[in-house]
Amino acid sequence: MNVSKLESKSRNVAYTYIERDSTTICVMLSGTGYTYEKPLLYYSTMQMIEADYDLVQIHYSYDSSCFKMNPLDFINIIIEDVDSVITEVFSTKKYEQVIFIGKSLGTLPIAFKYSKAAYFQDAKLILLTPLLQIEGFHESVMESQKDILMIIGTEDVYYIKESVDALRHKGNVNLIEIDGANHSLEIEPTNTKESLIVMEQVMKELNKFLIK
């Protein structure tokens, strides 16, 4: 296993590239403060390594001014940053299968670009605690024909019941709704045992989605 700490040449975005000589790659996009060391992404990383997939973790970061921008302008900045890494990685190796995993902020480029991108025709998309309140997010996912796994908790501040109900009935979307879970998919009020059970459930759903 080769682990490289790199930076894209066009936009100076840091990324970690884990190569396992695979024809499948997972592109992982973190949340604002939910980094790759946090449970959901840490164990998702372990799942990818266990499956012998190549993996790219993109380490973008944004200051407070970005969050005051027009949301679509900010999303385009994130997309450009992610694209700079993807272009670089894919220029060196051809992959047969692409998996995207996004957490919170990381679900935005997946929904707004990669869910519709023709050159990732057969990509699998995993949306953990998606930002359903962002204008255009729901519509983008509804328009996508790609295989999508979406996991969200009922106590997530970004949970929108109407959107969840509509997506639940879309044939290519596997929607997992976790009762009592917050934006970190942990149970509220704080319950360590139940939160660990949820984490195990999420990893089982992720694995089942990947091998179907």
Per-residue confidence at 100, pLDDT binned at 50, 70, 90?
very high
Could you tell me the residue range of the domain that residue 200 belongs to?
2-211
Asked if 91 and 65 count as a contact pair (C-beta separation under 8 A), the reply is no
Q: What is the pLDDT of residues 38-55, one digit of tens each?
A: 999 999 999 999 999 999
Asked if 166 and 142 count as a contact pair (C-beta separation under 8 A), the reply is yes
Asked if 104 and 131 count as a contact pair (C-beta separation under 8 A), the reply is yes
Q: How many domains does the chain have?
A: 1
**How far is the C-alpha of 34 from the C-alpha of 198, rounded, in Å?**
17
pTM of the model: 0.96
Query: Which CATH number is 133's domain given?
Result: 3.40.50.1820
Q: What is the pLDDT of residues 120-156, one digit of tens each?
A: 889 999 999 999 999 999 999 999 999 999 999 999 9
**How far is the C-alpha of 9 from the C-alpha of 14, rounded, in Å?**
10
Per-residue confidence at 212, pLDDT binned at 50, 70, 90?
confident
